[in-house]
A and B are shown apart, each in its own frame.
Chain A
């Protein structure tokens, strides 16, 4: 009986702990560094970019229609901002068992086919996904390097036009980086957008 109570207690606490871990980071909070395997087999972290001023961390995946719709725009972000000190780091948050099309070798194939100019990282055990509280794909975080460490400046959507049909779109991500470059705090630090939920193994 004692053993049973201990097991239940541990179980309850681990569930509570797991939930606490999944709260989405907000602007002003520290962006945890990570060390994840890239599609080229090498490990990538913030420290891989000693000269960067910040990072565009985007949780995205192979198959989600919203991720597919934004794929080219993510490539453009990297092309435009890497040279300005803000490289894109893409992380696949999906569990490869829950979403077979998001396996590491399929990530490698996609990155090669589409000539990703940025690293596309595999998050073993969804650890970084939970640290950041990424909920859906794509889910974008803009991080700046400061004296106090790596700080989240913005969380949310890339722009307000997932379908790509609006004539006057608001480019949230670009606006945030423009503000940071002129040493200002971004006007908008959080947006919401529909997306595919992060795929997890079914709970036993």
Chain B
């Protein structure tokens, strides 16, 4: 709403001599808001879609972290994943944060959490209903406790069911 008003005000200004200038500001504001909006989007993702994504990006390294809004150690380590993701973006690192919150919590817990923490990584909500199947499909050794993280680079695949410090996470990533 406020953006609209700013733009309207600017458009009035544009009626005078500042036509181009105002248009630039509006465009800039529009993009700034839409980028912020994009980063706070949470998409549903099932295991097939996750596997497809990884298959289609053979040249990338994937760090897939399984977390939940109710999981204290997960919340503690999320900033480390954000930081690694931002710092090594140029090395084709994709950090995917996959929440295992109940699907009913998407709008009431997951999206508000992602907004509040201003998370920049790609955030998903796992769209699966049977843990008996999906836990083993992520990794046979996964007991189901979170946090848990899957590292994938080419054909290399490593699964770790533990909480990370930033240094530990960086070490795991560099080892790939």
Residue numbers of A with Cβ under 8 A of B are: 24, 65, 135-136, 139, 157, 160, 162-163, 165, 191-199
Contact = CB atoms under 8 A, between A and B. Distances in A.
B82 interface: no
Contact of A192 (B70, B100, B135, B163): B135
B146 A194 contact: yes
Interface of B: 68, 70-71, 73, 100, 102, 104, 130-132, 135-136, 142-147, 161-163
Given A192-B135, A192-B136, A197-B163, A136 B143 contact: yes
14 contacts: A135-B145, A135-B161, A157-B131, A160-B130, A162-B102, A163-B102, A191-B132, A193-B135, A194-B135, A194-B146, A195-B146, A196-B146, A197-B147, A198-B145
Contacts of A196: 71, 145-146
Nearest to B105: A163
Contacts of A136: 143-145
B144 A192 contact: yes
Given A165-B104, A194-B146, 10 more contacts: A162-B102, A192-B132, A192-B142, A194-B131, A194-B145, A195-B144, A195-B145, A196-B146, A197-B163, A198-B145
Q: Report which residue of A163, A192, A193, A197 has the largest number of chain B beta carbons within 10 angstroms of its beta carbon.
A: A197
Q: Report which residue of B71, B100, B142 has the largest number of chain A beta carbons within 10 angstroms of its beta carbon.
A: B71
A198 B132 CA distance: 20
Q: Report which residue of A139, A160, A165, A192 has the largest number of chain B beta carbons within 10 angstroms of its beta carbon.
A: A192
Nearest to A136: B145
A183 B147 CA distance: 39
A196 B104 CA distance: 19
